[in-house]
Amino acid sequence: MRRPRTVLLCIAGLLGTALPAGTAAGSASAAPAAGACVTSPGPARGDAAKVLSIAQGAQKELGLNAVILRVSSGDREVLTTALGQSMTGVPADPAMHFRTGSVAIVYMGVALLRLVEQGKASLDDPVSRWLPDVPHGSEITLRMLGDSTSGLHDYVTDPAFLKELEAAPFRAWTPADITGYATRQPLLYKPGTNWSYSHANFALLGAALEKISGLPLDRLLSEQVMRPLGLTQTSNQSTPRIPEPALHAFTSERGIYEESTYWNPSWTTAPGAVLVQNICDLDRSAHAVGTGELLSAKSFKTQLDPGTIGLGHATSSCPASVCLLANTATHHFGLGVLIADGWILTNPSFSGYAGIQAYLPAQKLAISVTVTQGPKSPAGNSAQTIAERISAALAPGHALKPR
């Protein structure tokens, strides 16, 4: 049965073999190397036991091949574990690398704000200042790209694009290929007056960041985000390669259950921001983004509230299936991030991978999860489902709620 294609950021859902309960997911016979991303030593107790039980139950219930997660509170590791298999006979492992999609969008937002802090650009610069050939570039600002209020169509919902992508999943897409689907169509609304998610915003933002900084995007993100945070297991990939050890993915998007690990991800976002990470880097990222570690207090406030509150309503030109998020004070899109139920998060889901990085400032709690689908796994982001259940157990007053 054909499974609906999922996309990089699950706005609509905004919001192996498991081990016996009470055991960790396997402990090393020797002490791990310093900084290694490894399973927590067992047996799991207290909050760790709660998290492990939730992950084991969800893996079985949702038919997931693999679940890799890390939960931490402040400087304390609650649990790092991996359940199930990457491939037949290959156990999942916390050190495995996987695609993290929209996490790169968060990093582009951080890089933009840092460049603004340095006086190299303004959020209200028209895109045409940096990309003079972009249609409607004089009407759309950098802020509107970052907070998705540009009015540009989302090419991943374009039937013609999806037909081409499905027919050739190994195709290498250029920025012009993907943004062309969006810019050839009329704007959905006057820029800045409504909200609708579009991958085209971030493909263009990546190009603008290169012009502003004078650096290739991968180097810019490395200098502005990955290196300062010590994300040594995070990298841009200019090809479909995933550094070993790699977590393998499978999907039914094309009507048959097949491996999708090395499908070409060049369509997903700007070149230089096609990221892979391991779960420990994703956890570090959740803490840094959730605390505004790399930003001034003013920029962090802007990241969390760039002006989207009150936007996101259906109109004759932007139906509810497109303008689908009513941005409220407690549930809205920021500058590349989602704010939901007190959490700061992003939740990529595409080509058999699904994930989430979420941080709750009220409890200094981070939940990072990645999963891969089995042949009977439900559509949607199962990593977010697991995070919701963990949040209900560890932060019942601030539980992430299904939308």
**What per-residue confidence (pLDDT) applies to 24?**
37
Task: Say yes or no to pLDDT of 49 above 90.
Answer: yes
pLDDT digits (tens, 9 = 90+) for 187-227: 999 999 999 999 999 999 999 999 999 999 999 999 999 99
Q: What is the mean pLDDT of residues 242-261?
A: 97
Q: Give residue 255's pLDDT band: very low, low, confident or very high (50, 70, 90).
A: very high
Pairing of strands 275-277, 98-99: antiparallel
Query: What separation in angstroms does the CA of 142 have from each of 148, 187, 205, 312?
Result: 10, 16, 7, 19
**What per-residue confidence (pLDDT) applies to 11?**
53
Residues 187 and 174: their CA atoms lie apart, in Å, by 22
- Please, what is the angle between helix 103-117 and helix 297-304, to 10°? 140
Question: What residues does 340 pair with on adjacent strands?
Answer: 331, 343
Q: What is the mean pLDDT of residues 306-318?
A: 97
pLDDT digits (tens, 9 = 90+) for 9-37: 555 455 432 322 233 333 333 445 557 99
Phi, psi for 132 (deg, rounded to 5): -65, -15
User: What are the helix (H) ranges across 118-247?
Assistant: 142-147, 159-167, 175-183, 199-213, 217-221, 227-229
Question: What residues does 79 pair with on adjacent strands?
Answer: 71
Phi, psi for 401 (deg, rounded to 5): -110, 140
**What per-residue confidence (pLDDT) applies to 27?**
33
Residues 271 and 111: their CA atoms lie apart, in Å, by 15
**What per-residue confidence (pLDDT) applies to 34?**
55
Residues 359 and 264: their CA atoms lie apart, in Å, by 30
**What per-residue confidence (pLDDT) applies to 206?**
98
**What per-residue confidence (pLDDT) applies to 250?**
98
Q: Which two tokens stand for residue 299?
A: 């920029």
In sequence order, the 6+-apart residues with CB closer than 8 A to the CB of 261 are 242, 246, 247, 248, 249, 250, 352
User: Running DSSP on this structure, what letter comes out for residue 398?
Assistant: G
Q: What is the mean pLDDT of residues 121-147?
A: 98
Question: What does the radius of gyration of the chain's CA atoms come to, in whole angstroms?
Answer: 20
Taking each continuous run of H as one helix and of E as one strand, the counts in the chain are 11, 14
Task: Say yes or no to pLDDT of 289 above 80.
Answer: yes
Indicate the pTM of the whole model. Answer: 0.93
Q: What is the mean pLDDT of residues 72-86?
A: 97
Q: What is the mean pLDDT of residues 326-347?
A: 97
**What per-residue confidence (pLDDT) applies to 17?**
29
Look up tokens 């994300």; give the residue.
231
3 state SS of 61 = helix
Average pLDDT, the chain: 92
**What per-residue confidence (pLDDT) applies to 121?**
98
**What per-residue confidence (pLDDT) applies to 169?**
97
Which amino acid is residue 370, in one-letter code?
A: T
Task: Say yes or no to pLDDT of 397 above 60.
Answer: yes
Q: What is the mean pLDDT of residues 224-253?
A: 97
In sequence order, the 6+-apart residues with CB closer than 8 A to the CB of 158 are 181, 182
Look up tokens 């058999």; give the residue.
352
Residues 226 and 234: their CA atoms lie apart, in Å, by 7
User: Running DSSP on this structure, what letter comes out for residue 318?
Assistant: S
3 state SS of 297 = helix
Q: What is the mean pLDDT of residues 275-279?
A: 98
